[in-house]
Amino acid sequence: MEVKNMSRASAIILKDNKVALIERRNGIHEHLYYIYPGGGVEKGETIEEATIREVEEETGLVVTIEKLIAEVIFRENVQYYYLTKIIGGKFGEGNGPEMRGLYDESHGTYNAIWMCVEDLLKNPVYPECVSRIIVDSFKKGWPKEIKKNKDNDKIARSN
């Protein structure tokens, strides 16, 4: 898939009714929130390749792409959310710079965690529209068409 503007490639990773997330404590205020594993698309890679790379960097898992579930517009940039399948790796052993604490403390902390699907809407998980799709899919199955949403969440997130 062709990259538009500053795209973010993200993964929906499920295991035993849980979802892999990145727990963030942002900056000096220690504001706690969660995001789906993912990040920026690097020059020369597809969005799908970026999703696979970012998942391994942030979680330690190796995944394959199953299908595009959602496109979310955030600050005029497109974020792509792919349903993935775990094929290897070890959760919690991400080796990306953010996971190894190589960014200065103003970036806050990053930790890979599992959260029960039933708890997604009870916690500050962003974007909320993706969490709603996941919760709904457990009741009705995955959407047949790509869900397109504008993210109105009030929290600023970084890759």
The structural domains of the chain, ordered by start, are 8-150 (3.90.79.10)
Q: Tell me how crowded residue 101 is: count the other CB atoms within 10 A of its CB.
A: 11
Q: What is the mean pLDDT of the chain?
A: 87
Q: How long is the chain?
A: 159
> Could you tell me the pLDDT band of residue 144, with boundaries at 50, 70 and 90?
confident
Q: What pLDDT score does 96 carry? A: 78
pLDDT tens digits, 11-53: 999 999 999 999 998 766 678 999 999 999 999 999 999 999 9
> Do residues 125 and 35 make contact, with C-beta atoms less than 8 angstroms apart?
yes
Question: Is pLDDT larger for residue 156 or for residue 71?
Answer: 71
> Could you tell me the pLDDT band of residue 157, with boundaries at 50, 70 and 90?
very low
Tell me the DSSP string of 22-44.
Answer: EEEEEGGGTEEEEE-SEEEPPTT
What angle (nearest 5°) sits at the alpha carbon of residue 47, between those of residues 32 and 19? 40
Long-range contacts (CB closer than 8 Å, 24 or more residues apart) made by 44-51: 46/1, 46/3, 47/1, 47/3, 47/7, 47/9, 47/80, 48/1, 48/9, 48/82, 50/7, 50/9, 51/9, 51/10, 51/11, 51/80, 51/82, 51/84
Question: Is pLDDT larger for residue 71 or for residue 77?
Answer: 71
Question: Is pLDDT larger for residue 7 or for residue 119?
Answer: 119
> Do residues 150 and 72 make contact, with C-beta atoms less than 8 angstroms apart?
yes
Q: What pLDDT score does 159 carry? A: 34
Token pair 């009705």 is found at 140
pLDDT tens digits, 83-104: 999 999 999 998 877 777 767 6
Q: What pLDDT score does 102 carry? A: 65
Determine the residue type at 147.
Answer: K
The pTM of this model reads 0.87
